[in-house]
Amino acid sequence: MPALSPARVRLALLALALGGFAIGSTEFVAMGLLPNLAHDLLPGLYAHSREAADAQAGWLVSAYALGVVVGAPTIAVAAARFPRKQLLLVLVAAFTVGTVASALLPSFGLVLAARFLAGLPHGAYFGVAALVAASLMGPGKRGKGVAIVLSGLTIANIVGVPSITYLGQVTNWRIAYLAVALIFALTFVAIAFLVPFQPGDAGATVRRELKAFGRLQVWLALLIGAVGFGGFFAVYTYISPMVTEVARLGAIVVPLVLVVVGVGMTIGNLIGGWSADRNVMGSIFAYFGVFVVALTGLALTANTVAGLLAFTFLVGFGAAALSPAIQTRLMDVAGDSQTLAAAVNHAALNLGNSLGAFLGGVAIGAGLGYLSPSWIGLLLCVPGLGLAIASLLLQRRRGRGQLGEAPALA
């Protein structure tokens, strides 16, 4: 590929980040509109018990996340040899169709299925986009390249999710999803015109990509993301009723709280990408510490405006700062299976999404209240930290510089 001018590189990165913005919008807008979804799609249950309806509507978040879990490794393995730009265009087109279907289908069951289908391209998009960004950035800047792609997702939580949530509140949630579909259509055009051609991995085979799953360090990194991020999504899925039922604030405040979370995520993502290029494991431990403090503080003070705003900011910061570190760690330990490693990170994080949303819904449905997801998130941090410690001890035992030679699984 011929050398690109700095301006062309910036435009290409912007197009990739726009895709992240659209994905962040389609993934997270359900959190702000959860009561609207529950009221419209589950009217009988909502009339009987609002908490039960909110908890069941949380399945829409879990369904999308499960789509990511299924689609990320499947598409990454099958399409590793495809030209990356063309693959990105196919994935964005699939996002557009899935989001339109989510907006138009009439029943809860059909919308649930559409959210699963819409999640299928998620991990593969971020995986391929991260590889393209890393290539454009050059050696030694992988963490920064990953962070730039993810910046679209985090900025979506400042601009896209709050504004689309507000749009859904004043019109209806279906209009909100159609607005997200429009952003995907714009992303398709931006990638088509701004991202340069990049070939796929000509040497990639299904067998070679799947070899990553024979590395113990790969499994540890995936589990760190899946378990640790469950805490973030346990809180974020039910943030709307936390604002209205715990803090006793009006629904109009929900977009403001989403902005606060988004600002925390954006700052955390940028700092996390910078620190991941310097000390991956140190970054993972540091941001888990921030996450523990944030979840504890939120559980204890969410009934106050100051506590709600301060600790939702920290929850977003800690979670987003972890993401580039875990992504970089996976790329370090995956050997030649880089396409798969870049994609399955998002499968792991969305497994945490599904787990957190499900466990939070179970706790709320059991009558434990809208603060219970914060305590569940805190409990999930414990095994996440334990897995990070195990990974570090294994690395030290094997010796520095041998990350790609982690013991194979029997």
For 248, list phi and psi in degrees, rounded to 5. 60, 40
Q: Mean of the pLDDT values across residues 366-374? A: 85
Least confident of 81-90, 127-136, 400-409: 400-409
User: How far apart, in whole angstroms, are the C-alpha atoms of residue 53 and residue 352?
Assistant: 22
Predicted TM-score (pTM) of this structure = 0.71
**pLDDT (tens digit, 9 = 90+) per residue, 82-117?**
888 889 999 999 999 999 999 999 899 999 999 999
Tell me the average pLDDT across 50-72.
83
88-102, 248-262, 267-281: range with highest mean pLDDT: 88-102
For 122, residues 6+ apart whose C-beta sits below 8 A from its C-beta are 23, 27, 64, 67, 68, 71, 72, 95, 346, 350
- Confidence check: pLDDT of 204 > 80: no
Between residues 177 and 7, which one has the greater pLDDT? 177
- In percent, the amount of the chain with pLDDT more than 90 equals 17
Q: Which CATH architecture has domain 207-395?
A: Up-down Bundle (1.20)
Mean pLDDT of 2-28: 83
Joined together, the tokens standing for residue 337 give 């299976």
Q: What is the mean pLDDT of the chain?
A: 82
> Residue 75 pLDDT more than 50?
yes
Q: Residue 143: is its pLDDT beyond 70?
A: no
Average pLDDT over residues 15-35: 86
Residue that has been written with the tokens 């991260």 in this structure: 130
Average pLDDT of span 250-278: 83
Res 398: pLDDT: 72
Mean pLDDT score, 338-343: 67
Over range 352-373, report the average pLDDT: 82
Token pair recorded at residue 253? 């405040």
At residue 215, does pLDDT exceed 80?
no
What CA–CA distance (Å, rounded) separates 280 from 18? 26
Instruction: Give CA separation, 43 vs 34, 37, 254, in Å.
Output: 13, 9, 22
Asked if the model's pLDDT at residue 57 lies above 60, the reply is yes
DSSP 155-178: HIIIIIHHHHHHHHHHS-HHHHHH
Task: Specify the pLDDT at position 135.
Answer: 78
> 194-203, 247-256, 309-318: which has the minimum mean pLDDT?
194-203
Cα separations (Å) of 334 from 69, 103, 146, 208, 261? 18, 38, 16, 11, 31
Q: Residue 401's pLDDT is what?
A: 46
pLDDT band at 314 (very low <50, low <70, confident <90, very high): very high
Residue 45 parent element (H or E): helix 43-48
Most confidently predicted of 41-50, 126-135, 210-219, 304-313: 304-313
Kindly state the DSSP code that residue 196 receives in the 8-state scheme: P
Quote the pLDDT of residue 179.
94
Domain spans, the chain: 1-195, 207-395
Question: Residue 399: pLDDT above 60?
Answer: yes
In 75-200, the DSSP E strands lie at: none
Q: Does residue 202 register a pLDDT over 70?
A: no
**Range name among 46-60, 143-157, 264-278, 316-330 with the lowest pLDDT average:** 143-157
What average pLDDT does the segment 306-331 reach? 85
**Amino acid in the structure at residue 136:** L
Specify the pLDDT at position 95.
93
Is 1-195's fold the same as 207-395's? yes
Return the CATH number of the domain spanning residue range 1-195: 1.20.1250.20
**pLDDT at residue 406 above 70?**
no
Task: Name the pLDDT band for 180 (thresholds 50, 70, 90).
Answer: very high
What separation in angstroms does the CA of 254 have from each of 34, 241, 312, 372? Answer: 11, 9, 12, 19
pLDDT at 348 exceeding the cut of 90: no
